[in-house]
Structure 1
Amino acid sequence: MLERNLARAPQIVVGPRSRATCRPFVCRAAAATEIPTLAAAKRKKLGDSELLVSQCCLGTMTWGVQNTEADAHTQLSYAINDSGVNFIDTAEIYPVPPSAETQGKTDQYISSWLKDQPRDKVILATKVAGFGNKYLRKNGEQTRITAEQVEESVEGSLSRLKTDYIDLLQVHWPDRYVPLFGAAAYDPANEREDVSFEEQLRALEKVVKAGKVRYIGVSNETSYGVMRFAQLAEQMGLPKIVSIQNSYSLLVRSGFETDLAEVCAPRQTNVGLLAYSPLAGGSLSGKYIDGPAEGSRFTIFPGYMERYTKSLAKQAVGMYAEVAKKHGLTPTQLALAWCKSRWQVTSTIIGATSLEQLKENIGSFDIDLSEEAVKDIDRVYKQFRDPTTKPLDD
């Protein structure tokens, strides 16, 4: 593996190899001088990194279950080549819902498209699984954020993606116990032995120093976790996290907008938010208002993301849809334009199962909400502050 200071070096493709490769210290003129014409392609600096990412990020978790390889290539070509988006997010566990049979297909679909593209055209983010999965590792161990497992994860991702480096490696969910994916409040009874923050950072440092990873980040993380990672990095000269990928939408706001927003603010740790599920699993598109939508994720996978289907979120979605209608927008446009407008958000991760959906999602970034629309949104939010945590019968 070629040693390189990827954190500082501009990249340019130098020719085909078994993996898409780049050499350091060469001008990235072609990519740098391109002027994005769509708002979705507008570049923003990610935290303390040197990564300039588009404010729209292409999510990929349906590729391999709901989407074919051809679908994936069509979406990639439209988002990257036609729309100027330069940011792709994947994970070693994808596609979702995860299974041993489909694991890795998403990466393979990306690599088969990327092999005909300049590697420096995209910023490629992936994730190493946190505590609990038992089929990702060769020896069948539970996934943990240890040096051995991080290296195995990264090597697997590099092999599937057929690239020599990952731009951003994120810890998909914490190694320690925290309530995840709409779970109830923190319960000390669920605490368990975990890999220390220092050990995790030293594990991540190894793949950074080896030139396999440029920057690191976290996902589904808390204020406590961000602070511990940031403090140890500063005190011990370890790699600093530059991003946090957390759920953030009209339905899921308060978990980020208070103490976590302060911790991640530029004046504090300067950790950029990559907002995932901005459409709340598709519910904010309004397609479930009149009942189950045929062929949709919640219909195909019963019980999936019930926090959006069996809670007051359904009522909140209906009211946000009325706000959208009042201002001449679709519910999707309202939700994504709002997410784009938030100071906390560096990039919004969108996902689609059809090209039609993708076009609407990317086009939504061209919309700037009026002050009146924002006030109407805030009025709904005051009534439905945390709707996904309240069952329908409350």
Structure 2
Amino acid sequence: MRIIVLIMAITASVAATAFQHSATPSFLLPTRSARTVPFRATANDDEYPSYSSAIRRRSLMTMMAGGGGGFFSDLFGKSDGNNAANAYIGGNINSGKGPTNEVVKTVNGMRLRRLGGSDIIVSELGLGTQRWVSTDFNAPSKEDVFKFMDYAILDHGVNLIDTAEQYPIPSDGKNAKEGDSELVIGEWMKTRGLDKGEGRKKVVIASKITGGRNVTPKNIKKDCAGSLQRLRTDYIDIYQLHWPARYSPQSNWGQSLAYNLDSDKSPYWRGMGGPTSFEELCLAMQELIDEGKIRGWGLCNDNAYGLTGCTRTAMGLGVTPPCSIQGDFSLIDRKSEENGVAEAASPFNENVGFMAYNTLAGGMLTGKYMDRPAAVDNDDRAKVIEAMNNPRGRHDEFGWGRTLYRYRTDAATEAIADYNKIAKDAGVSLTELSMRWCRQRTLVTTSLVGHSNMKQLQESIKYFTKSNPLPERTMLDIDVSCGLLVSVRILENIAT
């Protein structure tokens, strides 16, 4: 047995060496022009050898270990072909077009980056649509969002719109209904001639199927068809799961990241066959790709386990892996850099793009709540009534205020005060600091920002088209401030 294992190891080593120094089959590797340096427009293998080597190693191991007659599968016995893990699906498998986050081009000052290893290129600023035509007190109307899209997409280099079948939120079923956000986007694309042909290529549409137990192969197909009908288009560029198709502490937007075993074993998840498997999910998404209904797919409100589970399963099946993961990310919510998502998504690992939302922490990072607490936190009854009658934003509404309390903890409010001082030292507003900080994090491909009015959108575009980055000193001050705050909190907990 030891001799067999030794022979296997030597064979794999020799094959890997030969593979890296020989002409690699074109079907296993991206084209030369795609093997480029992240954050650059062009490069060659000598400039970025690690990415190319990683692609070759993964391709080799997939070829040797894959279900389609690979070296190790032949050695340990062939499959009967009935196991989903040994299936092979054809289609456009866009997993090796280049490294995620590389800057492909600049349009009107707006940089466009590669999303994952796909051929989908997205602007660094994306339009978030959760509140479009909703029942929120300051929700933008249909006329407003038409102007948003005209200004951002037709004139200022933005190409990404992120929506969901469940948007707008909140909705009342009368004045605003689920699906209305997609309807408005579809109507705008139709009236602007962007619903098909060359015009359609100017817009990247990301939409989402409602997650949880709703995610089944049948519903993936049915819900995607519904979104396509509302959007009035033949395909969705990025189709995402709004929440994981399994229990995950990440699916509650980070209110608590503690894994609860009782929640996972509850009848909701374990009944009726249990959660949809990674295999079923990957095969269902590949079917949509084969049918030309989506170009790529991704995850939302998931974690490193879900990301690698999907990418590794797709690799084993020979189907298209997810090209993106979307998550809550801001100066005061860095969990995706700390819980393994940034490492997993790296171009050297799973090569998946990251779409950040809530980059302003529900408005907390605009600074408008610094002088007077949100209504839900205020002990002064008169000021609570005043705030509720004239809300500054969602934190002054009791429903949203309770949902978004994670942005108003003692640690968060202290951090916001520190970041505001750093912003003043840098000569920028807290809002600008927050947005440009996100833009410069190596994890982030694009930031999805919601706007209530045109002035806010104009400011966002101004920040995202500034060619000069925030100074290294400012970025360091932010990280030092964050580290010191964490240390102080640890010491306080020890003392008490």
Q: Note whether the superposition's TM-score is higher than 0.5.
A: yes
Tell me the equivalent position of 2:108: 37
In the other structure, the counterpart of 2:427 is: 328
Aligned to 1:297: 394
1:148 aligns with 2:249: no
Change (3 A) 1:374 1:302: closer
Match of 1:391 in 2: none
Match of 1:112 in 2: 187
CA gap of 1:7–1:224, structure 2 versus 1, over 3 A, is closer
CA distance in 2, matches of 1:47, 1:386: 34
Moved over 6 A (4+): 4-8
Q: Which residue of 1 aligns with 2:32?
A: none
Q: Deviations over 1:260-301 (max 9, x none)?
A: 211111011101111111111111111111224734122244
- 1:371: Cα distance to partner? 1.5
- CA 288–386 in structure 1, closer or farther in 2 if over 3 Å, else same: farther
Counterpart amino acid of residue 107 in structure 2: P
- The change in CA–CA distance for 1:210 and 1:100 in structure 2 (over 3 A counts) is farther
What is the aligned partner in structure 2 of residue 81 from structure 1? 154
Q: Aligned partners of 1:384 and 1:75: how far apart in 2?
A: 38
Specify the alignment match of 1:371 in structure 2.
472
1:154-193 aligned at under 5 Å gives the runs 154-179=224-249, 180-184=252-256, 185-191=258-264, 192-193=269-270
Q: CA deviation at 1:222?
A: 1.1
Q: How far does the alpha carbon of each residue in 1:288-332 deviate from its partner, in whole angstroms, 9 at most, with x for none?
A: 112247341222444231211344312211211111111110111
Contact 1:92 1:129 in 2 (8 A): yes
1:196–1:100 Cα change, 3 Å: farther
Match of 2:116 among 47, 50, 57: 47
Report the Cα distance in structure 1 between the residues aligned to 2:410 and 2:307, rounded to whole angstroms.
29
1:307-386 paired onto structure 2 within 5 Å: 307-365=406-464, 366=466, 368-385=469-486
Is the 8 Å Cα contact of residues 312 and 387 (structure 1) preserved in structure 2? Answer: no
State the alpha-carbon separation in 1 of the partners of residues 149 and 367 from structure 2: 25
> Is the CA contact 2:327–2:356 (under 8 Å) kept in the aligned structure 1?
yes
Pick which of 286-295 and 372-381 moved more.
286-295
Partner of 2:206: 125
Larger Rg: 2
Deviation track 1:361-392 (CA, whole Å, cap 9, x = no partner) reads 1211215111221121112211345999xxxx
Correspondent of 2:132 among 63, 85, 91: 63
Q: Separation in 2 of the partners of 1:333 and 1:201?
A: 38
> Closer, same or farther in 2 for the Cα pair 1:99/1:153, shift >3 Å?
farther
Amino acid at match of 2:369: Y
Distance apart, 1:183 and its partner CA: 2.6
Residue-by-residue CA offset, 1:73-126 (whole Å, 9 max, x unaligned): 111111111211011110111112355552111111111211113221111111
**Contact 2:91–2:286 (8 Å) recurs in 1:** no
User: What SS does the aligned partner of 2:395 have?
Assistant: helix
1:129-162 CA-partner distances (Å, limit 9, x unpaired): 111xxxxxxxxxxx52111111111111111111
- Matching residue's letter, 2:122: V
Q: Which position in structure 2 is the counterpart of 1:285?
A: 366
CA distance in 2, matches of 1:297, 1:229: 34
CA distance in 2 between partners of 1:186 and 1:112 (Å): 42
Cα distance in 2 for partners of 1:373, 1:211 equals 45
SS across alignment from 1:241: coil
Q: Tell me how many residue pairs correspond in the alignment.
A: 349
Secondary structure in structure 2 of the residue aligned to 1:332 = helix
Q: State how far apart, in whole Å, the 2-side matches of 1:230 and 1:255 are.
A: 17
Q: Distance in 1 between matches of 2:432 and 2:488?
A: 20
Matches of residues 256-295 of structure 1 in structure 2 within 5 Å?
256-291=337-372, 292=374, 294-295=391-392
Q: TM-score, normalised by structure 1?
A: 0.83
Q: Which runs of 5+ in 2 are unaligned?
A: 1-89, 95-103, 375-386, 490-495
Amino acid at match of 2:220: V
Specify which of 283, 290, 307 is matched with residue 209 of structure 1: 290
The alpha-carbon distance between structure 1 residues 386 and 200, as it changes in their structure 2 partners (threshold 3 A), is farther
C-alpha distance in 2, partners of 1:381/1:127? 33
Aligned match for 2:323, one of 242, 260, 273: 242
Distance 1:34 1:383, change over 3 A: closer
Please state whether the residue corresponding to 1:303 is helix, strand or coil: helix
Q: 1:6 to 1:59 in 2, by over 3 A?
A: farther
* Cα distance in 2 between the residues matched to 1:276 and 1:146: 26
| Conserved 8 A contact 2:92-2:290 | no
Work out whether residues 210 and 242 of structure 2, in 8 Å CA contact, stay in contact via their aligned partners in 1.
Answer: yes
Q: Would the aligned equivalents of 1:145 and 1:195 in 2 still touch at CA under 8 Å?
A: yes
Aligned residue type for 2:155: D
